[in-house]
Amino acid sequence: MRVAVVQLSSQDDVAANLQRVKHWIGAAAADGAKLVTLPENFALMSDDTRKREVAEPIDGASPGPILSALSESAAKHGVWVLGGGMPEQSGDPVKPYNTSVLVDARGAVVGLYRKAHLFDVTLPDAGTYRESEATTPGHDVVSVDVHGVRVGLSICYDLRFPELYRRLGEQGCRLITVPAAFTLATGKDHWLPLLRTRAIENQVYVLAPAQHGKHPRGRQTYGKTLIADPWGDVIAQCSDGEGMVSAPLDFSFQDRVRASLPCTQHRVW
């Protein structure tokens, strides 16, 4: 199965961002991808007030412009699309979910993961982030079958919590998605080591589409969108700026890795 990861530099104009999303989904489909993954905040990088304004229900009955863009592009090109993180209406009008939504090749919503671990940190020389002040956390571990392959869903800051990925492994996942908007300050030191570690310890493919560059309110993200294999090798990576890379996933190679080094079977706890 060929998969694609898209790198964006989303701004505060939803319509313009969605035009870029449509372009890259089409480009990935033309490259032969069957699954196209987009980064966190693909439709909007802005302040909390704006996120509340554009938050949509994801119930299939009355899709808003963000979900419609994903569904229409997926159906048009006959590919599965993961919208890595978008504002979804919750029971709290001032705290939408940050939701990764998966649509199939017909454009139907087949999976939702609401970000569980919220980014509340103060970074030296890089500012303070309080995601929990404007986001409702999710609580479910979510995986979905895509072309017969079990795919686990996560978002950005989740990457620092290995217990989530162990639970996804227990659900039979062969592939994990980690859409992100990693800060430049943390990304330059931690992005690659964490992604490779999650791939190695769970013997899974990792798809990590990311935001890159400068965004509103002085925010700067690291980029380095990539695909890692179950041995922890990076098999595809974007350079700076917008872009897309794809790679075929060899599940027979994954089987050989798991058979030769059956570490998940040796767990004591």
Annotation says 95 is catalytic: no
Q: Which residues contact 41 (CB under 8 A, 6 or more apart)?
A: 10, 84, 85, 86, 181, 211
Q: At what angle do helices 65-77 and 14-30 cross, to 10 degrees?
A: 20
Q: How many CB atoms lie within 10 A of CB 87?
A: 26
Annotation says 156 is catalytic: yes
Catalytic residue among 95, 115, 131, 238: 115
Catalytic residue among 40, 56, 88, 131: 40
Catalytic residue among 56, 131, 156, 238: 156
**CA 191 – CA 266 distance, rounded (Å):** 27
**CA 114 – CA 104 distance, rounded (Å):** 18
Q: Which two tokens stand for residue 254?
A: 């994954």
For residues 244, 157, 71, 75, the Cα torsion angle rounded to the nearest 10 degrees is: 40
Annotation says 40 is catalytic: yes
Q: How many CB atoms lie within 10 A of CB 171?
A: 14
Cβ(54)–Cβ(87) below 8 Å: yes
Q: Which two tokens stand for residue 167?
A: 């639970």
Length of the chain: 269
Cite the active site residues.
40, 115, 156
